[in-house]
Structure 1
Amino acid sequence: MEILKRIDKGYRLIEQAKDKSERLMNVESIKRLKHELDLILNEENEIRVQVDQARTGLLIKEKQLSDIDRQLLSILEKLYESEHQNSKILQELKKQETILKDKKTNLEDEIMKEFYIIEKYSKELNLFKSKYNKVEKLYNSKKISQNEKVAYLEDKIKLMEKKIRKLRKSADPNLLSLYDKKRQTMKVVFAKAENGVCEICHMTLSTSLIEKVENCSEIIECDCCNRILYLEETKDNDETL
């Protein structure tokens, strides 16, 4: 009976350690930092899309500017060719030259704006990178600290499992089988009989039942909740079972 109580204590300690381990990996501070990192990445990606769009626009405008320069060069060549000294042709060429120069000026202004936008976004990306690195460093630091605590708990769990296996080998097979069946359906298998009452279901226990529990010669179950009754809690160290 005493061995079963120690085994049960070990299982409960393992469950507590696992719950604590799960909480450690889901603490609010880590979740907040992870959320902040995700937000920074999303904003950074949006800016990168805008940079890519600006660069694409810049390439298009630079190609248009190159085409205009070629057209202007062609017009200049025609203006100085003797066979095109006809006033009508000259006027038309001058008109085309003026139109192209205006387009060139407008394009150059737009290209400067694109350069300004790209430079502005590049500075923002550097700021985001600096901010991300700072938050990531804090996030990793906290996560490493939590991982160390989790690793410590996992070591304790392995040690408890080893001790439980050892205890199970020395337990009465019939009693152990009964305990295992109960544990499959009950979160709490043992219930303390205190002042003639079951501490779990609060059922008043008969005197004869209490006497049987006192004798501790066999497993005595509560008539109401079917948990294994005991009188005194085993005073053992949580980590030693």
Structure 2
Amino acid sequence: MEQLDLLRNLEEHHNSLKVYQKELFNLKNDSMVNKTEEKILDTEEKLSRLKFSQEKIKDRLKQSNTRLKDYNFKIEEIENNLYKGQITDLKQLEYLNDEKDKLKEIISDTETEIIEFMDEVENIDEELLTIESFLEDIKDKNNKLKSKYRDLEEDLKDKIKSEEDEIIALESKIDVNLLNKYNMIRKNKRTGIAEVKDTICSGCNMLIPTVLIDRLNNRKELIYCECCGRILCKP
């Protein structure tokens, strides 16, 4: 029966359409891209925090260098006063020597501080290079992944459009009343056609009476399962 063959063909295209639509849904909701995007954001935030920390250390390094210059200048002034011989007062000389010793201690501590700051800056520079390299790599992978997903999405959209066109073309060839009945069965049962295998309806797994099997074999009319209501066909 031509109408039954058209319905079977229609059912196949509906099933294919459902598969492609599900694949497209899963693709759009795939967590791989989302996880990669989150990792990129986390890495960028870490990079930003590290750069901010580095700038603060550089500011402190600059301040320490400025202080070191001031201390060295003060020592030069004290040494000039000590060695020019213009100061003869012993207490003042003793005071200047004490000040010079204190400044030397401060200078030593400041130089140590500067070295530590420079080490911190160097360590952060190395860490920044590592993170930036990682960020560049993960962005590249993410772009390739998104490109791949876009290609897959376009392919699925083309397949969906093709199936929808086939369905429209087939529906135009099927009797309107029969098509409405078939669509109603599909709406309630998810499938409108069921094959009969070894006298069993593949839709509901119930036994089909012999009289219906004989009528189905004659292919003169459409036969419906008495249990689930699906349109029956032979494998």
- Smaller-chain TM-score range? 0.7 to 0.9
Match of 2:233 in 1: 230
The Cα RMSD (Å) is 3.7
C-alpha distance 146-74 of structure 1, shift in aligned 2 (>3 A): closer
C-alpha distance 115-186 of structure 1, shift in aligned 2 (>3 A): farther
8 A Cα contact 1:3 1:171, kept in partner: yes
Match of 2:153 in 1: 150
8 A Cα contact 1:21 1:150, kept in partner: yes
| TM-superposed deviation, 1:12 | 0.7
Greater CA deviation, 114-123 or 8-17?
A: 114-123
Match of 1:106 in 2: 109
Greater CA deviation, 149-158 or 79-88?
A: 79-88
Distance in 2 (CA, whole Å) between partners of 1:75 and 1:95 is 11
The amino acid across from 1:6 in the alignment is N
Match of 2:57 in 1: 57
Match of 2:207 in 1: 204
The amino acid across from 2:174 in the alignment is A
Where structure 2 has 5 or more consecutive residues not aligned to the other structure, the ranges are none
- How many residues in Structure 1 have an aligned counterpart in Structure 2? 229
8 A Cα contact 1:220 1:228, kept in partner: yes
Cα deviation, 1:46-79, whole Å, max 9, x if unaligned, reads 4653453243133134324424644664576577
Q: Does 1:127 align with 2:95?
A: no
Match of 2:81 in 1: 80
- Which residue of 168, 173, 176 corresponds with 1:170? 173
| TM-superposed deviation, 1:15 | 1.7
Greater CA deviation, 149-158 or 39-48?
A: 39-48
| TM-superposed deviation, 1:198 | 0.7
Where structure 1 has 5 or more consecutive residues not aligned to the other structure, the ranges are 233-241
| TM-superposed deviation, 1:214 | 3.6
Cα deviation, 1:146-176, whole Å, max 9, x if unaligned, reads 4323322321211111121122223222222
The amino acid across from 1:199 in the alignment is S
8 A Cα contact 2:64 2:114, kept in partner: no
Match of 2:184 in 1: 181
Give % identity.
Answer: 23
Distance in 1 (CA, whole Å) between partners of 2:10 and 2:65 is 83
Distance in 2 (CA, whole Å) between partners of 1:26 and 1:200 is 31
| TM-superposed deviation, 1:143 | 4.3
Distance in 2 (CA, whole Å) between partners of 1:64 and 1:198 is 88
| TM-superposed deviation, 1:122 | 1.8
Cα deviation, 1:89-144, whole Å, max 9, x if unaligned, reads 44334323332332222222222222222223223322333344345434533543
Cα deviation, 1:3-48, whole Å, max 9, x if unaligned, reads 2222221111112223344566788xx93x9857865774675465
TM-score by length of 1: 0.73
